[in-house]
Each structure stands twice: as C-alpha cells, then as structure tokens.
Amino acid sequence: MVIYILRRLLALVPVVLIMSIVVFLIIYLIPGDPARVMLGDGADESTIQELRQQMGLNYPLLEQYGRWIGNAVQGDLGRSFFLQQPVSTAIREHLAPTLSLALFAQFIAVLIAIPLGVRAAVNRGGLADKTLNAYSLLGISVPGFLLSLFFVLVFAVRLKWFPVSGFAPLHEGIGSFLKFMFLPALSIGIVMSSLTARIVKASMLEVLHEGFVKTALSKGLRQNTIIYKHVLRNALIPILTVVGGSFGTLVAGAAVIETIFNIPGLGQMLVHAVERRDYAVIQGMVLFIAIVYVAVNLAVDLLYAVVDPRIRLQ
C-alpha cells in the first residue's frame, strides 16, 4: 500500500511541475511591465520600482521561478498589493464559504444521481432511463450559472421563497445557511448530477451482469437489497472517479455562482482580483485550486485501492 501511494505521488510530480510553470508564466502574458499595468498610468516611478521589487521582477526569469515555487512549497503564495495581506491568509479567509457550497452541491448531486442512475440501469428503457436521457442533455447544455439565474428568477424574484443573494456561515445556524445556499448549491448540483447519474447507470449495468447477482436472485434476496447493498457497492469505483473529478471543477465553477449570489468565497475573491489585476492573488489562487484539484483526484485514486484490493497489486 505504501509503495502504491508513493508511486501515485511520484507520477504527479511532472504534472504539478508543469502546472506551476503555467501559473508562473501567466504574468508574462501581460503586454508590457506587470507592475506598471497593475498600478495604472498615474503611478509614480518609485512606487512602480517598489512593486517590481516586491514581485521579484528584477531577478532573472529562472531565479524568479525558483523563488516563487520555493515560497509556494512552504505555503507562502506572495502578498496581495491591494488587500495588503498575504495571499495564503486571504485564501484561508475565503475558503469556508466555497467549501461548504461545494460540499452541499456535491451532496445534492449524489442524492439525485444515485437513485436516478440506479433506476435507469435496472429498468432500461423505462421511465427513469428516459428521464436520465433528457436530464443528461440538460446537464451538458445548460451551464450552472445560467441555471442559477433562472432559479433566481423563479424562486427568489417571483415566488420569493429564497433570498436573491447573500450568505450566512454555517456556524450561525443551519437554517439561514440553507436559506442562502440552497439555490446556488442546487444549480451546481443539478448540472453535476447529470454526469454522475450517467456514470452510475453505466457502472451499474456492468456489475448487474456478474454472476453473484444471479446467485443472489436465485437464493431469493429482495431486489432492493441486491441492487443497493451488493451491486451499487461493486459499482462504486467509476462513480467515485466522477464525484472526485467533478469536485475540482465545482470549486472552479463556484467562481461564477458566487458572483451571482454574492457569496464571499474563493470564486468571488478571484473575480475581484481579476478586476483589480492583482496578479499575486490570481497566481496564488489558481495554483491553490489546481493543487486541490490534483489532490482530490489523488485521494480518489487512493480510495480505489481501499475499496478494491486488486488495484493495489497491479
């Protein structure tokens, strides 16, 4: 198991390296001097020089990268010129809303996807299967942020069931948290569940043909016991993959949703940073989210090995 984990970690090194280089090079896409662009036309020369020094722009390229990645590894993602605080602190302050949104959305997605996918697999061509077909088409064609705009239009503006925007942290009571988070989480959850449900169906179909299902049937187990207790459990691996994989996309996709609902999370912070051209924040956040994304995928990979011992031995 230890060897398996080490091998997986080692395989990630080149990917993470490339990702960090891509993120680092982003400021070199800026036409002209980044410090000058950030401060605007009116800035005086000494401020520009100060910022250049702070951003490390006066060093040779390789040394700049070395310094940047060296600090990043130690959890120092630089300092935001506009927020006047370290980027890592800013990320920590904005993490909770995004994380709770992501978890809530994932919960909704799984809640919809598993029953729908399972029914569709067990009864091919039936109502659930047809629903799934239409539903998955909806999921790919309607982006989450658009769905949330429609939800706001119907449930917040017209029916007034939910507030149009805002946020209440979880520790101030689950009621107000749910009131603010339901629409954003639902719109992300629906889009995500469409993909998950399709994978659930495909994966279930595969396991349904295994011999043990026949055995269970012939020894008279109830169908629901077979499906949910035995088949679903064996069908979990591909399902875990999508759930884990979508988690990173979800944190990224939350950027748009958070702007719509005015949730003070990572996404909103990123959008503000883009507006202000606060490159330290942009680089730090993109690197952070990308690393989280990779880490979640790694965790899923490791989870396979726990779920299915055969993988460990390969």
Partner 1 sequence: MTDSTVQEGKQQARRTSLIHSQPVRRFMANRTAVIGGVLMLLLIAASLLSPWLARFEPQAVDVVSRLKPPSVKHWFGTDNLGRDVFSRTLNGTKISIQVGLTVALVSSAAGLVIGLYSAYYRRLDQVLMRIMDGIFAFPAVLLAMAMMAALGPNVSNLMICLSIVFTPAVARIVRSSALVVKEQTYIEAMRALGASRTRILWLHIMPGTLSPLIVQGSFVFAESIIVEAALSFLGAGIPAPMPSLGNLLSEGKQFIYNSWWMTLFPGFALILSVLAMNWFGDGLRDMLDPHARTKRKRSRKGSMEKNTSDNNNEKVSSATQASS
Give which of 55, 19, 16, 64 is closest to 35, Cα–Cα.
Answer: 55
- Work out which of 57, 236, 271, 307 binds partner 1, going by CB under 8 A: 271
For 21, the token pair is 């280089």
Cα 239 versus chain centre, distance: 16
- Work out which of 136, 184, 216, 239 binds partner 1, going by CB under 8 A: 136
Residue 145 interacts with partner 1 (CB under 8 A): yes or no: yes
Question: What percentage of the chain's residues is helix, strand, coil (to nearest 5)?
Answer: 80, 0, 20
Residue 91 interacts with partner 1 (CB under 8 A): yes or no: no
Sign of torsion over alpha carbons 176, 182, 185, 187:
negative
Between 146 and 170, whose beta carbon lies closer to partner 1?
146
Three-state DSSP state, 123 = coil
Residue 143 interacts with partner 1 (CB under 8 A): yes or no: yes
Q: Please, which of residues 184-203 interact with partner 1 by CB under 8 A?
A: 195, 198-199, 201-202
Between 143 and 166, whose beta carbon lies closer to partner 1?
143
DSSP secondary-structure letter at 79?
E
Span of 39-47, 67-75, 83-91, 290-298 interacting with partner 1 by CB under 8 A? 290-298
Residue 56 interacts with partner 1 (CB under 8 A): yes or no: no
Which residue is it, tokens 């979800």? 250
Residue 219 interacts with partner 1 (CB under 8 A): yes or no: no
Give which of 41, 193, 16 is closest to 104, Cα–Cα.
Answer: 193
Work out how close the CB of 224 gets to partner 1 at its nearest, in angstroms, rounded to a whole number: 13
Residue 31 interacts with partner 1 (CB under 8 A): yes or no: yes
- Work out which of 185, 232, 260, 296 binds partner 1, going by CB under 8 A: 260
What is the rounded distance in angstroms from the CA atom of residue 181 to the CA atom of residue 266? 15
Question: 205, 239 in Cβ contact below 8 A?
Answer: no
Q: How many residues lie near partner 1 (CB under 8 A)? A: 73
Residue 253 interacts with partner 1 (CB under 8 A): yes or no: yes
- Work out which of 6, 15, 299, 306 binds partner 1, going by CB under 8 A: 15
For 114, the token pair is 């598993």
Q: Please, which of residues 151-190 interact with partner 1 by CB under 8 A?
A: 152-153, 157, 164
- Work out which of 9, 61, 140, 299 binds partner 1, going by CB under 8 A: 140
Residue 57 interacts with partner 1 (CB under 8 A): yes or no: no
- Output the CA angle 78-47-68, nearest 5 degrees: 20
What is the rounded distance in angstroms from the CA atom of residue 198 to the CA atom of residue 143? 17
Residue 141 interacts with partner 1 (CB under 8 A): yes or no: yes
State which amino acid sits at residue 122. V
